[in-house]
Amino acid sequence: MANHFFQFKQFTITQQHAAMKVTTDSCLFGAVVAANVSEPVQRMLDIGTGTGLLSCMIAQVLHNTSISALDVSEEALIDAEHNISAGQFANINTVHCALQDFVSVEKYDLIVSNPPFFENQLKAPDRLKNIAHHDSGLSLAELLTGVQGLLAENGCFWVLIPFYRYLEMIGLAASYHLFPSKVYFVSQSPKHPYFRCIVQFMNTKTMIDESEILIKDDNNEYTAAFTELLKPYYLYL
């Protein structure tokens, strides 16, 4: 699956300005969230929308939901607006703003985010890539602070994180009264360790529903589970 575009059945996600590439795990993240949500969801917030991929995928399920696609990067929003227009998603609006400065009178029933991955690691020389890949623009604590203030009482927050940060994220989220209810552990194949986690958080404690997703099998073919999740969107599955 190419890193530079995502071939929807209806249109192609393009990227010319956003620093974060469209990746297999971000596509999987969108598909998992979309598979777990259903109407009615009145308001959704996509934090760090980038190309608008997550908003576009979820909009194909939540036709009547008002979706706000938020990003601090004006360049990224150029791509997002192009993709939203190409998909004819009238229910998605872009917001050029940092989460730390974002104010909303109303709460959100659904919040999604694919946040920076590599806090405290070596910074790349490119400014946009630094903002996209590192916590220099938005730390996990700032993300959770924003989510806590914006999430509706019975709402849910979905996040894609590296596996090695899973326990850290769970512990930190608890201090913001956010608790995991669903976790998908993602690995490239049966021979690989987990490298991503897709986690749903809610405001109340509950039993955690844990699942595993293998992207490819021992024959280097996409697994049935992965294909089932992505085929509503990806043209070649």
**Mean pLDDT over each residue of the chain, to the nearest integer:** 86
Q: Quick one: pLDDT at residue 23? A: 83
pLDDT given at position 156: 97
Do 171 and 140 contact (CB within 8 A), yes or no? Answer: no
> Can you give the residue ranges of every domain in the chain?
6-230
pLDDT band at 64 (very low <50, low <70, confident <90, very high): very high
CATH architecture assignment, domain 6-230: 3-Layer(aba) Sandwich (3.40)
Whether 78 shows a pLDDT value over 90: the answer reads: yes
Token readout for 44 is 């959704």
Backbone angles phi, psi at 108, to 5 degrees: -110, 135
Give the model confidence (pLDDT) of 186-222 as tens digits: 999 999 999 999 999 999 999 999 999 999 999 999 9
pTM of the model: 0.87
pLDDT digits (tens, 9 = 90+) for 84-112: 998 899 999 999 999 999 999 999 999 99
Q: In the predicted model, is pLDDT for residue 7 greater than 80?
A: no
Alpha-carbon torsion 125, 128, 129, 134, what sign? positive
Identify the H or E element spanning 144.
Answer: helix 140-150
Measured distance CA(174)–CA(107) in Å, rounded: 20
Across 45-60, average pLDDT: 94
